[in-house]
Amino acid sequence: MNLDRLHSALEELDSVRAGVDSMLASRPQGGVFEGTDPEGVITAEVDAAGDLLRLVPASDWIKRVPDGQLASAVTAAHDAARAAVMRQWAQNDTEQRRATPSFDGTPDRLADDEVTEAQRLIRQFERGEASLTDLNEQVLNQQRENDIARAALDRPDAETSFESPSGWFSARSSGRRLTALDYHRSQIMLVGPDEIGAELVAVMHRIKSEHDRRRRSIAGDTR
């Protein structure tokens, strides 16, 4: 392989690695992200990984949420908060790319001793290939995760019904989605928004836990 081809190959490797590094480095590392349902009745807060931290209902949520629509409001708020994480990730990536000087297409000046330079480039190329091998392994692992997810989708989810920890809500879920959420008005009227929010978070965490358990079971079946 001549030096020009080595330089060209290295440029391609550097471009791929730079893109991956930029994306990974741009992922939000902290903070709390908010989202609300379209009516502004429920506010959800998630961390940088998209995991639910809080659900805060408006003080007059009982009057504003039509019968049978509480589950939709909670789900919409949660989805909006997770979307805020993705928007921040995309914004970080865009800003980082703008701040990174772009390659001008001019290859590095060759050393006087072209044999030494060729050896250096070959070692650099081999390191780049090793990095791409690692990246390929990550992609394959993600593909396996996607296969598990598709297998889960192919198996109809039995709807699960359960009561919230304090018995204020009766919930139904299918997979990772909250499908119905009813409340016992006589009990709900005695507690404030913070307590209600904590109870709703417990409901969502249980749904996620059951979903993750089912995925682990499916993963064991597909291996």
Segment-wise mean pLDDT, segments of 10 residues, the chain, 223 residues:
60 64 72 95 94 95 91 96 90 77 47 53 60 66 66 62 94 91 91 94 94 76 54
DSSP alpha helix (H) spans, the chain: 3-26, 61-64, 70-99, 114-154, 185-188, 193-222
pTM value?
Answer: 0.67
SS3 163: strand
Q: Give Rg (Cα) of the chain.
A: 25
pLDDT at position 7 is 62
Cβ count near 84 (within 10 Å): 20
CA distance 205 to 23: 28
Q: What is the CATH number of domain 18-98?
A: 3.30.1310.10
| Domain range annotation of the chain | 18-98, 157-222
pLDDT at position 13 is 63
Answer whether 18-98 and 157-222 agree in fold. Answer: yes
- CATH architecture observed for domain 157-222: 2-Layer Sandwich (3.30)
